[in-house]
Structure 1
Amino acid sequence: METAHSQMKAAPPAFTAFARFVLFGGGVGIASSFAVAALASWMPWVLANALITVVATLLATELHARFTFGGGHATLRQHAQSAGSAAVAYAVTCVAMLVLQQMAAAPGAVLEQVVYLSASALAGVARFMVLRLVVFARNRSQVTPTVRTARSVHATVARTAAPAGPAVLCHAA
């Protein structure tokens, strides 16, 4: 019988996880841009964008849970936390563009793209860190205490059940 610890996949190294984060997140982002354009021909663009953003965030979170961070399916809590981090990343890019508009009366398209892509890159790196260290790290850390607790209980039972005496040696496995 497999233990809970052996069923848990090891988290990939940070560089591998980041490459997967970019691949899956970027892939979903590119697919989303085409989906929004297609859906916008049937409904208002704002509604199409909102719908595709929700679907894309759910899909990207599931892909990150399974492949980027080496876990299984994303939980409802992980989906909510991932959506929250995506909302913060969106706010960061909006603030960056608003600051640019305040600082430059008529910024050119190149400057706008530099600011937007820089803000997106910084927000993306921050989002990766949040997902890796907070959102998907909890699954791995919750398994270990359970296994340790089982070992502690086993060791306690072994100590109490063993006959007392100087020749008895008992240690936790």
Structure 2
Amino acid sequence: MEIVQSHQQAEPGAITAFARFVLFGGGVGIASSFAVAALDTWITWALANAVITVSSTLLATELHSRFTFGAGGRATRSQHAQSAGSAAAAYAATSVAMLVLQLLVAAPGAVLEQVVYLSASALTGVARFAVLRLVVFARNRSQTATTVRTARPVRTTTARAAAPAALAMLLRAA
């Protein structure tokens, strides 16, 4: 009897995946907000936001591939490209939120800017979770779900013995 094992990582449930998404994505998002504020002193806010969005998207996609969605390895170029689409939407949403803040408040303080930026990031984060789970890493989830780490016996002798018996029955029936 031979034992067949698969070493692929099991797919986490939706709640576990969302908790990991919040932990990794939120951690990167909070660090990004401080990085944007720091870069804003050297370059324009829009450029700082673009630079940080690109770098944080690359980092977050890697973390989500390895830990959040059960892929167990590095993200592929295709997954990075697909993830970039949702990041572009997040960039647009945070930029619009900050522009609206600038229109409504003549001189917003750093705390208000952070609240607006993090709120916009949180809203786009929920949409991003759905896109990543249902689209970007969906193939990995369906493959992993069918090959969860198992150990099951495979009876090779039964299969070998059954074929000649079935052939003999067919010949008798004919």
Pick the TM interval, shorter chain. 0.5 to 0.7
TM-score normalised to the size of structure 2? 0.64
TM-score, with normalisation over the residues of structure 1?
A: 0.64
CA distance change for structure 1 residues 39 and 120 in 2, over 3 Å: closer, same or farther? closer
Q: Contact between 2:17 and 2:68, CA under 8 Å: does it hold in 1?
A: yes
- What's the CA shift for 1:11? 1.3
Structure 1 spans left out of the alignment, 5+ residues: 147-157, 168-173
Corresponding residue for residue 78 of structure 1: 79
Q: Report the structure number with the largest CA radius of gyration.
A: 2
Q: CA separation of 1:116/1:34 partners in 2, compared to 1, >3 Å: closer, same or farther?
A: closer
Structure having the higher strand fraction is 2
2:136 matched residue in structure 1: 135
Secondary structure of the structure 2 residue equivalent to 1:7: coil
Change (3 A) 1:69 1:115: same
Q: Is this contact kept in 1: 2:30–2:118, CA < 8 A?
A: no
Report the CA distance shift for 1:55/1:115 in structure 2 as closer, same or farther (over 3 A): closer
Deviation at residue 125 of structure 1 after TM alignment: 1.8
Report the aligned-residue RMSD.
4.0
Is 1:8–1:140's contact at 8 Å kept on the other side of the alignment? no
Q: Which residue in 1 is equivalent to 2:13?
A: 13
Report the residue type matching 2:11 in the other structure.
A
Paired letter, 1:57? T
**Equivalent residue pairs, number:** 150
C-alpha change, 1:114 and 1:2, in structure 2 (3 Å) is farther
Q: Cα offset for 1:48?
A: 3.1
1:114-133 → structure 2 map (5 Å cutoff):
120-133=121-134
Instruction: Provide the identity percentage.
Output: 71
Counterpart code for 1:132: R
Query: Gaps spanning 5+ residues in structure 2: where?
Result: 148-158
- The structural deviation recorded for 1:134 is 1.2
